[in-house]
Structure 1
Amino acid sequence: MWRRREAALAALAAAWPAWSRAAEPGVSEREILIGQSAVLSGPLGLSLQMFNAGAALALADANARGGIGGRQVRLVSLDDELKPDQAQRNYRTLLQDPGVFAFFGGVGSGTIAAVTPLLRDTGVPLVGNFAVADSVRQKARGAAYFIRAGYGREAEKLVQHLSTLGVERLAVAHLDNPGGTEVLALVQQALKKRSGKDLLGAVAVGNDGSQLAQAVDTLARLDPQAVVMFLSGPPVAQLMEGLWAKGRSPSFYGMSTVAGEKVAATLGARLRGLAICQTVPYPWSGADPTARQFQQLCDAAKTPVSYTSYEGYLNALVLLEALRRCGKEPTRAGLHTVMRGFKGRVGGLDLDFSDDATGSRFVELVQVNAQGKFLR
């Protein structure tokens, strides 16, 4: 009897290390599985495809070097078309089959707001983001961790710059959605705080270009010195062309939602006076070692160097560093602990999550020329 019991205990002890390594969902002896639900199709999916291309470079490079604690890090992505209900279904699917360890690369205010209760209920962390409103970030605090600076920080940077230039007649063109309304309020708040003045006016534009003609007419009547654009896609260039056609030539300032290279491709030699907020450092830098490594990986993989692909790359580097800090046997609770106390410098971004849902405050303005090149 004693011999049989000792043999059983010995067998259990021998099996324990292997069992314990596979006990945490999404973690096996060979890999750590990460899930993503994001808009990956249609016009809105183009940016996220580039974001994911940059993230893939970081993951592939880390895996080629042995992964994290000997485990490969694998990303499984599902398309939610930026629809909150589909995002909820995707998150549940990823939790059940294949059963992911954590989530990465969340996109959109509506989708993140919709899945935040699920993140809290399950205790599964979400690391990284793209285009998420400040208010949604705060509601998701402790469940999700956002790397790029918030829209409030972008608004502060823009207003500071424009005030320095002596611009007093400032208007805003924003997306006709809750996020756009929030950004409008943030710009107004920053302007009031700095100068005590109000905006000259504001116009709302649908992401599909609806209400564009009315917006152009209104801005032409207001005749602002500068227009801050919280827009994306074709309406950016269309708004600029519309004002030029009416004899108005304000300076244009884009929030980070504006893809400068696409505007340049549309306008060509007509492009002038466009500056854009960027929330990650200059990806073409020859001095920064992280940027140089990124450029080399892009060259080898035939991936375009861009702010969007670099943002995906840096977001993935943060995730990888957090996984390393979790130790040999990562747990979801451990990843939360690491992220809540995460401080450090990753690729030129000074990150500190100890007092906020957002780690970075980095924002800089860059000019876009007719060739689609960004000039600092």
Structure 2
Amino acid sequence: MRTGATATRRRALRILGAGAAALVAAPWASPAPRAEADAEILIGQSCQLSGPLAPLTRELQEGAAWCFEQVNARGGVHGRQVRVVALDDAYDPQRTADNVRQLIEKQGVFALFNLAGTPTTLAALPVLRERKVPLIAPFTGTDALRSGFDRYVFNVRAGYADEIEKIVQHLAVLGIDRVGVAYMNNSFGKGGLDAVKSAAARRDVVLAATAPLEIDGSGLRVAAQDLARARPPVIILATAGKLTSDFIAAYQSSGASAQFYALSVVSSQQLIQALGDRSKGVAIAQVMPYPWGSGTKLARELSELASRKGVEVGYNHMEGFVSAKVLVEGLQQAGPSPTRESLVRGLEGLRELDLGGYVVRFSERNHNGSNHVELTIVGASKRVLR
């Protein structure tokens, strides 16, 4: 039996669940939390459970949940079940920061996972850094998380700059030297616009016109008409979620034509469902392995799990699935009595992790796990083709 101030402090930090003890998490005090032998591994997530971007988060969460379910069914990680606590931020950065504080200080999460969105994730960074809580696989490709080294952030996906570089390089090879850009009027979209400008300048591609899009979808028709007047043969979309298909529909209704290139945070399934036959020819940059067929071990595994659930699999499912696998491997490497610091060291020690068709590389000096990008297109059969 523990005695004295140490025992009192440890008992105060233990968070009791409905049937089992949740992971012990030190709030803002030191020492950093250590998982107790009888505890769950409690992981926190702030994401869009409501609003127009919620469908993206749902796909991401489903893919991750399938991985965690598999792991837990096999006995968990060093005998502990992995459980994710998700709070809704509705794409509001202030709510994200508040959620992260609550997850760390009140819920006692061991680490954070798949925070979704650029402005929202950036709002959480000061809290993460202050509390020294690892963030694994944020669902954003912003350069703000990649241009400088952050010991507590581990990126599993390629960045938006990588995606845009691939798109502009492809267009230059095709001889296309004029593009338009429609971008969300926030840090995500503006970062995408800056990446297009940089990539275009390196290849003598001219920006014919640009149009900011409001997150709530207001003014889409005017933005579409502004771009249509410039008649660019290609429009690059630094957008996410429903706003993407809404803008494409508005532009097509203007009477102008262009080929659209979207970023990976667009759900191909949702885009096809929203646009139907009008989605044909839309190109989408992807940062994950092709989720259909049997081309990779990951695709076979994910397809089987999705089939059991009766869910049509997509790229966002794959990203959630891959992200969860990386987190689980990091927890395995952190040892039977993990701390946040041992999780950081465990992830850095992965070096070159081949998940079966997708390789993640981490080290003490590199937390950007991949720069893999490939281009896909929606075919006549309304299927995504490589």
The two structures have a TM-score, normalised by structure 2, of: 0.86
Cα displacement string for residues 68-93 of structure 1 (whole angstroms, at most 9, x for unaligned residues) = 11111111111122222222222222
SS at match of 2:273: helix
> Shift of the alpha carbon at 1:246?
3.9
Aligned counterparts of 2:254 and 2:92: Cα–Cα separation in 1: 37
Which residue of 90, 94, 98 maps to 2:103? 94
Counterpart of 1:144 in structure 2 is 153
Q: Is the deviation greater in 35-44 or in 21-30?
A: 21-30
Counterpart of 1:111 in structure 2 is 120
- Kindly provide the amino acid, as one letter, of the partner of residue 296 in structure 2: D
CA RMSD of aligned residues (A): 2.5
Is this contact kept in 2: 1:314–1:347, CA < 8 A?
Answer: no
> Shift of the alpha carbon at 1:113?
1.9
Aligned counterparts of 2:337 and 2:147: Cα–Cα separation in 1: 30
Cα displacement string for residues 51-105 of structure 1 (whole angstroms, at most 9, x for unaligned residues) = 1111010001011112111111111111122222222222222223331111111
Which residue of 76, 93, 108 maps to 1:84? 93
> Shift of the alpha carbon at 1:364?
0.7
Aligned counterparts of 2:142 and 2:86: Cα–Cα separation in 1: 22
Which residue of 330, 333, 350 maps to 1:325? 333
Is this contact kept in 2: 1:26–1:34, CA < 8 A?
Answer: no
Counterpart of 2:384 in structure 1 is 374
Identity of aligned residues (%): 37
Cα displacement string for residues 276-335 of structure 1 (whole angstroms, at most 9, x for unaligned residues) = 001101011313122211111112223331111111111000000111111222111011
Structure 2: any 5+ residue segments left out of the alignment?
Answer: 4-13, 15-22, 26-31
- What does 1:145-160 align with in structure 2 at a 5 Å threshold? 145-160=154-169
Cα displacement string for residues 210-250 of structure 1 (whole angstroms, at most 9, x for unaligned residues) = 23222222222111111111123444334333443444222
Aligned counterparts of 1:32 and 1:47: Cα–Cα separation in 2: 25
Cα displacement string for residues 329-361 of structure 1 (whole angstroms, at most 9, x for unaligned residues) = 211101112223432222422222334442111
> Shift of the alpha carbon at 1:184?
0.6
- What does 1:95-244 align with in structure 2 at a 5 Å threshold? 95-138=104-147, 141-193=150-202, 195-244=203-252
Aligned counterparts of 1:211 and 1:342: Cα–Cα separation in 2: 47
Is this contact kept in 1: 2:103–2:109, CA < 8 A?
Answer: yes
Q: Higher helix proportion, which one?
A: 1
- Kindly provide the amino acid, as one letter, of the partner of residue 64 in structure 2: A
The two structures have a TM-score, normalised by structure 1, of: 0.88
- Kindly provide the amino acid, as one letter, of the partner of residue 289 in structure 1: K
Aligned counterparts of 1:175 and 1:312: Cα–Cα separation in 2: 23
Counterpart of 2:76 in structure 1 is 67
Aligned counterparts of 1:39 and 1:140: Cα–Cα separation in 2: 27
Aligned counterparts of 2:241 and 2:135: Cα–Cα separation in 1: 27
- Kindly provide the amino acid, as one letter, of the partner of residue 173 in structure 2: T
Q: In structure 2, do the counterparts of structure 1 residues 42 and 161 end up closer, same or farther at CA, with 3 Å as the change threshold? A: same
Counterpart of 1:262 in structure 2 is 270
